[in-house]
């Protein structure tokens, strides 16, 4: 949905984006990598208004920080 602007489940094109954000106490659309809000990585959400399907995307600039995090694993 992020790149094609079309839902992969229903083919709908009515896509909304909720931008990732970090707020006090770790609230918002994010992944906390440490104890501080300064370690949070924002997660953008893409929502199909036709069927309700959602996807979450992390900015590529934050991938290396996630890789180095003790919270990430395979």
Range of the domain at 36: 15-67
Distances (CA, A) of 67 to 35, 38, 54, 61, 63: 17, 17, 24, 11, 6
In a domain, 29, yes or no: yes
Beta carbons within 8 Å of 36's beta carbon, 6+ residues apart: none
The rounded mean pLDDT for the chain is 94
pLDDT confidence of residue 54: 98
Query: What is the tens place of the pLDDT at every residue in 37-69?
Result: 888 999 999 999 999 999 999 999 999 999 999
Give the pLDDT band of residue 26 (cuts 50, 70, 90): confident
In a domain, 72, yes or no: no
* pTM, 2 dp: 0.85
Number of domains, the chain: 1
Going by their DSSP bridges, the two strands 30-32 and 40-48 should be labelled as: antiparallel
pLDDT confidence of residue 25: 79
């Amino acid at each position: 949905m992020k790149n094609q602007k079309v839902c992969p489940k229903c083919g709908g094109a009515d896509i909304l984006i909720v931008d990732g954000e970090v707020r006090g106490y770790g609230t918002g659309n994010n992944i906390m990598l440490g104890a501080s809000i300064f370690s949070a990585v924002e997660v953008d959400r893409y929502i199909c208004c036709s069927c309700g399907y959602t996807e979450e995307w992390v900015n590529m600039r934050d991938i290396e920080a996630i890789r180095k995090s003790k919270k990430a694993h395979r």
